[in-house]
Amino acid sequence: MQLSALLLLAFYFFLMWPLARWHRSRHSLAPAVFAGLLLGVLFGGFMHLAEGWGVNLPFVLDWISLVGEGYVNLLHLLVMPLVLVCILSAVVRVSHTSDLGKISASVLAVLLGTTAVAALVGVVIAHLFGLSAEGLVEGAREAARVEVLNERIGRVSDLSLPQILTSFIPRNIFADLAGQRDTSVIAVVIFAVLLGLAALAVRRENPEQGAAIEQFVTIAQVWVMKLVRLIMAFTPYGVMALVTALVAKSSWADIFNLFSFVAASFVAIALMFVVHALLLLVNGISPLHYFAKVWPVLVFAFSSRSSAATIPLNVETQIDELKNSPAIANFSASFGATIGQNGCAGIYPAMLAVMVAVPMGINVFDPMWLASLVAVIVISSFGIAGVGGGATFAALVVLPTMGLPVQIAALLISVEPLIDMARTALNVNGAMTAGTLTQRWLGNGAEVAPA
């Protein structure tokens, strides 16, 4: 064990002291999250320099990952209790069960509609940047990835839409509460809705027992939300650790070799953020006020690369900052983590389809081919939760359905982590946009800053 590695690690933990003081001096979480992000970038860059001095970086990164991954684990711990209790509370408090159908339909309409737009954006940007699968070099890592993809493609390419939807239905709620399936979040949502509907039936038949159930659910929600806020207090330190590890592990040579694809991906993702902003604007919501409130959530999604882990912060921000109702916040955050992801299920497979189709002589702007691609992407966005693996599995569903090879997904493995950060932030923003628009359409949107 090198003394230099111990000193570097001690310096890292020393930096947490001014971050903690800054955090305690601010009522808002946002400044501390930004400070953690900045410190993470600077320290990660410093670690690149330290590597040239012979410092044992894996040892340092292992301890830094203890902070970052430990925080992400705590957030994953919150997901199922939060979804169960908050959805159950929302259902128990509704006066008309038809409201649940309206909320679900509105949220899904925004998620799937923006995914269709994201697919079109991906096609156009890939064409404008002249992206093509020709010339991509397959190294050892890529060859290994191709073998993995070929092994897994059988379990995703033959799934029909009814099979995908069936996978959402809970079979063993204890297994789903433990997150043992890729569709566990949606399964818990369905179970919570059914449990809530049963509570409403009890209230109609026996108001006294119904009131007792509602009081129990209210206490459970207060308890869980207190736990959420307790863990949220560690966000700046978790972000700092996650960003430090990401910057330290980044390979600038790989990024340079695939710079065109990286640049095109970020341009497409940025355009979809603009689409979200325009949707808010035309519905009388100021995009500036909106992004000022949600950017700490986006920073965490960017650094953690996990839509599911971002659910607690997503829900809390929608309720406390955007003033969305708990029912809308929980439905949009839960659905948005598994269905209609604009970045992973929309932009990414569309860009890969263009990169493969162009060398095959396919006119990607042929109306029938383009319409088929968009339809496949929108439908398969339901199945991403069913098969797991995010953007790569979206490609495994879309490309074979369009008659295209899947090896392209393996050849981009070097830059996947970098692009996936921005994709995850876009996915989460799509969920919050769906919730905010649903609040404006169905609820009292007066508390959301007007345009």
Residue 388, pLDDT > 50, answer no
Task: Considering only residues 109 and 446, tell me which one the structure prediction assigns the higher pLDDT.
Answer: 109
pLDDT in tens, 70-92: 888 887 788 788 888 877 887 88
Query: Which pLDDT score, from 0 to 100, does residue 161 have?
Result: 61
Query: Which pLDDT score, from 0 to 100, does residue 432 have?
Result: 96
Query: Which pLDDT score, from 0 to 100, does residue 140 have?
Result: 40
Residue 154, pLDDT > 70, answer no
Backbone angles phi, psi at 430, to 5 degrees: -60, -40
- The domain limits of the chain are 3-447
Question: What's the whole-number mean pLDDT along residues 209-231?
Answer: 87
- The model's confidence at residue 342, banded by pLDDT at 50, 70 and 90, is very high
Residue 93, pLDDT > 80, answer no
As a CATH number, domain 3-447 is 1.10.3860.10
pLDDT in tens, 257-297: 567 888 899 999 999 999 999 999 999 999 999 999 999 89
What is the pTM assigned to this prediction? Answer: 0.75
